Chains A and B, each alone.
Chain A
Amino acid sequence: MDLFEYQGKQFFAEYGMPTSPGKIAFTIEEAIQAAEELGTPVMVKAQVHTGGRGKAGGVKFAATIEDVREHATNIVGLDIKGHTVGRVWIEKASDIAEEYYASFTLDRSAKKHLGMLSKEGGVEIETVAEENPDAIAKIWVDPVDGLSEEQCKAWVEAANLPSEAFGGTVDILMKLYEAYTEGDADLVEINPLILTPEGKVHVLDAKVTLDGNSVFRHKSYEQYDETQTRDERETAAHAKGLQYVGLEGSVGVIANGAGLAMSTVDVINQVGGKPANFLDIGGGANADVMAGALEVINNDPNVKAIFINIFGGITRGEEVANGILEAMKRVAIESPIVIRLDGTNADEGRAILEPNLSDKLLMETTMLDAARTAVQLAQ
């Protein structure tokens, strides 16, 4: 789950990190009101789940209320890399002496938590990593032991921050690690972490991705579910509990298992088609799940043909076949369907489908042939 900047800052503040006062606004009027309450100067910051906001004109300094009106007018509704700005964060402006970078994430190769700290903040860390890798101080933290203050001090030392930033940075990093682990985050990133002219270290931006698997122990995370970026199709699929990712093409995909669904998307591309989605209905493939999946795909106006790719493991072919037929009775499907059914009792399953075949319901024995047929029908 990706958090907006302001949600990330509120999350950090709960762990005692210093952030600036601010308010969220959904309209220009709300933005002005927020600025009046906070007192100018303020920053007007687009809240979107993507980077590069500044370059796109989504982050502006406003010295006066008039500036706030002008910037909010430009930013609300702005498109940033395909994300429409629906809310802006109005934040008390900070004076900046220096900008740093700090983050924690899991290093999947090392199976340890990786902390990165750099005195070259404010730019993308990938750029720093490429152009000046020595400017990034890294630390690998054993998840069992956690981060000790001693380790943390040595790490900040290694990053060569000026002495006046040392204490404040150590303090923030210790809290950042706590937020990362206790908050079950996949990523916590502060860029920039700033040093003010008064010598205070302060969180000026927040990027937080939380582990969706941890919601059972963080009930408050359910609030973030509704602010995830999903298109209409993804929202509908999510409501049905389906693993769905929207794509741009015209061949709707239904498969059982994440790997097979991914593979189905690949094969459609390989035979010259464009998949409309990734959809994993899980192992069972019963009528209820199949009907839900067909409904979501049927509502996608771009879909011109549907490829159902099922491999029966524990679930037998005849159950899958009956599930598909039952689901087709419940949903009025417009596009032709191509089925590839393989695995356990595939012959029995195919025998059940056979009498129902038509120019709207076709069957192929291999994944490649089924993909070719579906792609042809979609053209």
Chain B
Amino acid sequence: MSIFVDETTKVIYQGLTGSQGSYYGRLNKEYGTQVVAGTHPKKAGTDVNGVPIYANVAEAVEATGATASCIFIPAAGVRGAVMEAAEGGVKFVVAVTEGVPAHDEAIFYNQLKRDYPDVQLLGPNCPGIISPGKCNIGITAGHIAKPGGPVGIVSRSGTLTYQALYELKQKDIGVTTCVGIGGDPVPGTSFIDCLEAFEADSETKAIMMIGEIGGSAEEEAAEYIKDNVTKPVSSYIAGVTAPPGKKMGHAGAIVSGGKGTAKAKMEALEAAGVRVGNNPTEAGELMAEIVASL
């Protein structure tokens, strides 16, 4: 099994006609993802590499029965695109776009919670989600992940996610689903959402969690793990030596007012029984030990 998406997930690409959208839409399709439609208000009736374009998400859903969408729209249009997806009837929305204003994120996050509580948003500013061998939505290089299980991955960082997938593959360890929740201040899907789903997934036997400095999402995840997660968890937190007050690339990755340090996060996770590595390789080795002992 996998979480959130699998081989039956039909996906609409909002922005499929753009350069990023058409590129990754094609790669996702080649991977085996059911890329069933694209949207563009003025290009309905045309197609991109054989994928039909509809005027909006609602029409694409009606015609294809899609349940998910992936957003490759420039930052200014993401708020509108997220709401269009929810109103159009999809239940899982992946927003890859980076550079979305935090106030827009705060608005559509709360609007979804209130008006479309059954819609799950992933991102913005995330690499997407991959259930290896079944479905890949976003910009992850599919072939670096080994299908199967027993590990589920959730991560705030793109390249470190790839690193984790790759290290596990080198050790011949499979992955049920790998979720990149993204490095923005208001991510649609949290660590806890993923931990809960992995805990409930029978094929996932262990969980790898990759965090970074800034905010308190890792501390909240640690609390959740302590009380609710029975499966073993390994973790890595990037930014142990990041200086306070400097944004390290991601909008959310900043230590401010002494809060959000890697040290505090690592201690919270360790206190919750998580095995924490000092670098991505060590976290991979810890996971290999966990898998060997399953």
Selecting from B47-55, B59-67, B104-112, B195-203, the interface stretch reads: B104-112
Most buried by A among B160, B217, B253, B262: B160
Question: Taking A213-B99, A368-B279 as contacts, is the C-beta distance between A344 and B240 under 8 angstroms?
Answer: no
A139 to chain B, nearest CB (A): 15
> A270 contacts which of B103, B114, B279 (Cβ < 8 Å)?
B279
> Are B106 and A258 touching (Cβ within 8 A)?
no
Q: Which residues of A contact B100 (CB under 8 A)?
A: 213
B46 at the interface (CB under 8 A from A): no
B191 at the interface (CB under 8 A from A): no
Q: Which residues of B contact A245 (CB under 8 A)?
A: 243, 246-248
Inter-chain CA distance A120–B243, complex, in Å, is 30
A55 to chain B, nearest CB (A): 18
Selecting from A35-43, A108-116, A162-170, the interface stretch reads: A108-116
Q: Which residues of B contact A257 (CB under 8 A)?
A: 157-160, 162, 249
Inter-chain CA distance A211–B100, complex, in Å, is 10
Q: Which residues of A contact B133 (CB under 8 A)?
A: none
- Binary flags per residue of B16-39, CB closer than 8 Å to A gives 1, else 0: 000000000001000000000000
Inter-chain CA distance A342–B160, complex, in Å, is 12
Q: Which residues of B contact A366 (CB under 8 A)?
A: 281
> B220 contacts which of A109, A262, A368 (Cβ < 8 Å)?
A109
- Binary flags per residue of A44-83, CB closer than 8 Å to B gives 1, else 0: 0000000000000000000000000000000000000000
Closest to A266 in B: B240
A28 to chain B, nearest CB (A): 30
A296 at the interface (CB under 8 A from B): no
Inter-chain CA distance A259–B209, complex, in Å, is 13
Q: Which residues of A contact B247 (CB under 8 A)?
A: 245
Inter-chain CA distance A378–B164, complex, in Å, is 29
> Are B27 and A106 touching (Cβ within 8 A)?
no
> Are A344 and B143 touching (Cβ within 8 A)?
yes
B117 at the interface (CB under 8 A from A): no
Question: Taking A184-B101, A186-B102, A258-B253 as contacts, is the C-beta distance between A109 and B216 under 8 angstroms?
Answer: yes
> B166 contacts which of A111, A243, A280, A311 (Cβ < 8 Å)?
A311
Inter-chain CA distance A314–B162, complex, in Å, is 10
> Are A262 and B253 touching (Cβ within 8 A)?
yes
A101 at the interface (CB under 8 A from B): no
Chain B count of residues within 8 A CB distance of the other chain: 60
For window 178-218 of B, CB contacts with A under 8 Å fall at 183, 185-186, 210, 212-213, 215-217
> Are A262 and B239 touching (Cβ within 8 A)?
yes
Q: Which residues of B contact A275 (CB under 8 A)?
A: 241
Most buried by B among A144, A186, A267, A280: A144
B156 at the interface (CB under 8 A from A): yes
B242 at the interface (CB under 8 A from A): yes
Question: Taking A111-B110, A263-B160, A267-B279 as contacts, is the C-beta distance between A313 and B144 under 8 angstroms?
Answer: yes
B288 at the interface (CB under 8 A from A): no
- Binary flags per residue of A320-343, CB closer than 8 Å to B gives 1, else 0: 000000000000000000000011
A260 at the interface (CB under 8 A from B): yes
A180 to chain B, nearest CB (A): 8
Q: Which residues of A contact B143 (CB under 8 A)?
A: 344
Inter-chain CA distance A270–B240, complex, in Å, is 10
> A262 contacts which of B161, B162, B186, B248 (Cβ < 8 Å)?
B248
> Are A108 and B114 touching (Cβ within 8 A)?
no
Closest to A129 in B: B257
> Are B238 and A259 touching (Cβ within 8 A)?
yes
B264 at the interface (CB under 8 A from A): no
A108 to chain B, nearest CB (A): 5
Question: Taking A262-B212, A311-B159, A344-B144 as contacts, is the C-beta distance between A106 and B106 under 8 angstroms?
Answer: yes
> Are B240 and A269 touching (Cβ within 8 A)?
yes
Q: Which residues of A contact B (CB under 8 A)?
A: 106, 108-109, 111-113, 126, 142-144, 181, 184, 186, 211, 213-214, 216-217, 243, 245, 247, 255-263, 265-267, 269-270, 275, 278, 280, 283, 311-314, 342-344, 366-368
